[in-house]
Structure 1
Amino acid sequence: MIELDIALARAGFSLAVNFTAGNGITALFGESGAGKSTVLHLVAGLLKPDRGRIAVSGTVFTDTEARIFVAPHRRRIGYVFQDALLFPHLSVRQNLLYGSWFTRGPADGISLDQVTSLLGIAHLLDRRPQTLSGGERQRVAIGRALLASPRILLMDEPLAALDIDRKREIIPYIERLRDELKLPILYVSHAIEEVARLADRVILMSGGRVKSDGPPQQVLSPKTGSGDDRFARVSILTAGKPTYDEKYQLTQVSHPAGRITLPGRLAPDADPVRIVIRAIDVTLALSKPRELSIRTALPGKVSAISEPLGAVVMVEVALAGGEVLAAAVTRKAADELGLGEGDQVYCLIKSVSIDDRLMAAP
């Protein structure tokens, strides 16, 4: 477990953050400049707070009142950066073992064999970094961090430098870390689909403060982004029991409100799956339409309508199961439909509008 209560002031920026986090992935999410990477630097000991306390698994790293500050190299931190930062003159094996050379970890810490098996990199051990793909390099970087026998793993946008195919390659390995190692992991990312898939918990940051804290479905849906930005507004629905149509290459998943159709085949272990739906991709109808190309029509009840945002209003629809789906519609459309709170509507979602690439099997 990590316990963090810190404050830091710099020219033009102040940070004041207080939270605790257990094992699994806690994602720090928010706009650039929110202070996410600064939190990681403080945990790693690369920065000293003006005030506060940081403890991981009962070991105090920083306590300004007690005048405790453990040097970074004594904290047993595993740190994975956006770029793999491997030593080009060393083999993969040597890069991996570098993580343990300066570490006084427990004798029963994770072994090289365990790391290579967990990350699927045993066949790469004798190669040099310049011969690896971006996804392979990042897996080696994660392995090096794990061989430091870390108390906590810090991951600062580890997929940001990768293309979509490499992201799809590496995400299942990060899920294995989350599920098998039972380490606390602080994970920074700007990618909402990535966070929705990986995070057990999301801490939404803005201006150096914690704006919201909870499970991804609660924090990221439906009010992610600034309230007047219809392009930033998303909802996250949780569904399961996927069935695949080989002929049409479509997957259907079950939600309490109905079946949702997705393009492509989901990853084999994608149950449950979190689906990110943009508000601008939701159309509302007062009755279930016929003879449309749209495959997904979820019934629900209007729970809220925002004040006009220029020509647009945000309509929140409560679905069976308790989740909420946000739809961006024009004021004229809302008026012509006579939409009001409590009205029964159908939420129409085009399958092709759902970005399945991080959900789909690589």
Structure 2
Amino acid sequence: MKIAFLKEGSAETRVAAIPETVKKFTALGIEVAIEQGAGEGASIADSDYDTAGATVGARDAVLKDADAILCIMGPEPGSLQGAKQGAILLGALDPTRRTDDVKAYAAAGLQALAMEWMPRITRAQSMDILSSQSNLAGYKAVVDAASLYGRAFPMMMTAAGTVSPAKLFVMGVGVAGLQAIATGRRLGAQVSATDVRSATKEQIQSLGAKPIFVEGVAGIEGEGQGGYAGETSPEYQAAQAELVSGHIAKQDIVITTALIPGRAAPRLISDAQIASMRPGSIIVDLAAEAGGNVEGCVAGEVVDRHGVKIVGAVQLARTLAADASALFARNLANFLLAFWDKEASALKLPDDDELVKAIRLTNGGQVVHDRIKP
């Protein structure tokens, strides 16, 4: 079997292979081919891959006869000229927004698998690219906020007086939110957090932060579907908006992380609430690419509204390319190795396996996933 890794597009700093995973593949007798310069953005030299046992070369040679093509973001279909029929394409393929590309993958005879649709179940935890990348994004959101904030995060006792700690509020306590809480605490901020899922209250407290929850109106008990929050009742939304309005006016930093799979991001912060914050405050919206949790947020830009800087965060994991690549590459390797048949020395993806069914988009020249089938 041959696995190919291509150099990502110019905006992408991550790479889908690290020397560690290359060694795992080659130890099984799998041939690994990597396009020249693929690891540059993540500070991995071609010589590092060569030492690990991979063949480094031009794209045409890397693609030739490859049984699987592993990537970070789905490549443009035109860049896959020469890929053989039936080859597996595995990575973050963004199928709901790139439906034309998925159709092109099918027409090219590729078996496309979208790793971001991996079920959030125990068996698949080590394969969950959304969690691994969100963890880094939550950390980087706080670091970026700290760099924009014109004051210190921790309390400081000095001969000239006391510097008060920054007040950090995290909205949405998933993987990114929990890491944002932990990072804020490490930097010395006074941290509070909220979520519509009642189960997160104990998680917030375990990190030393203050939970801010609506009382008397039911939110979501336990976890939402697939570990994500779902939509709440109008009564809860009104009660939460009132609670947040009173709390947010006192905050210096706000990190929003709320996403609903397959839907636009819920609006959590209005323009009026932004206006209630003191000038110099910072909001980092991690849901910017899905429409944003914050009114006036623009994906990829820092917008000033009422003296408050709103950061439309996009793919923050890319700014930590070395660590992000390592985690992503391990996610991909864990998936493939879980389906490696040692006796046959072959990769086998059973049609009835729950993981395969959840992420397989195309097969046999057709789009086969129910969520995007024509």
* TM-score range normalised by the length of the shorter chain: under 0.3
Q: Which has the higher contact order (CA 8 A, sep 6+)?
A: 2
| Structure with the higher fraction of residues in helix conformation | 2
| Structure with the higher fraction of residues in strand conformation | 1
How high is the TM-score relative to the length of structure 2? 0.25
